[in-house]
Amino acid sequence: MATLIEPCPFCDSGHLHISHHLLSHSVSCQTCKSTGPHRRQLEDALLEWNHTSKLLRSARTGEHVQVHGRLHDLEDAVRNLASALRHGPGGQEAAAEYKLEH
Ligand SMILES: [Zn+2]
């Protein structure tokens, strides 16, 4: 049965090589030379490689979401500040003075 091999968990490369050793098999990346766990069963070596790949990729996606969340917080803070300046006490006058001076 053909098991699909996930791309390299470290560099996302699809240039993978399956090494057959005397008592074990392992998946290695031809691009960054990282090697997956050696397992007696080829199937296990593939499964663990895939598992690592998915784990690391979902971890990376999680980081992106966090950065995105922080950006949103920042945008909200800027918006709140802008509306506070516009609608805050004396905000209108301050804006009018600003226009007169320039
Ligand atoms: Zn790689």
Containing domain of residue 69, as a range? 16-101
Please count the other Cβ atoms lying within 10 Å of the Cβ belonging to residue 6: 19
Confirm whether 69 is domain-assigned: yes
**Which pLDDT belongs to residue 4?**
84
pLDDT at 67: 75
Surrounding residues of ion ligand 1, Cβ less than 5 A: 8, 10-11, 13, 29, 31-32
Residue 7 located in a structural domain: no
Beta bridge partners of 39: 25
Domain assignment present for residue 2? The answer is no
CA of 36 to the centre of ligand 1 (A): 10
77-92: pLDDT as tens digits: 999 988 888 876 555 5
Partners of 25 in the β-ladder:
20, 39
Q: Say how many Å lie between the CA of residue 40 and the centre of ligand 1.
A: 22
The answer to whether the beta carbons of residues 21 and 33 sit under 8 Å apart is no
Model pTM greater than 0.85? no
Split at pLDDT 50, 70, 90, the class of 1 is: very low
In this prediction, residues 6-15 reach a mean pLDDT of: 94
Number of domains in the chain: 1
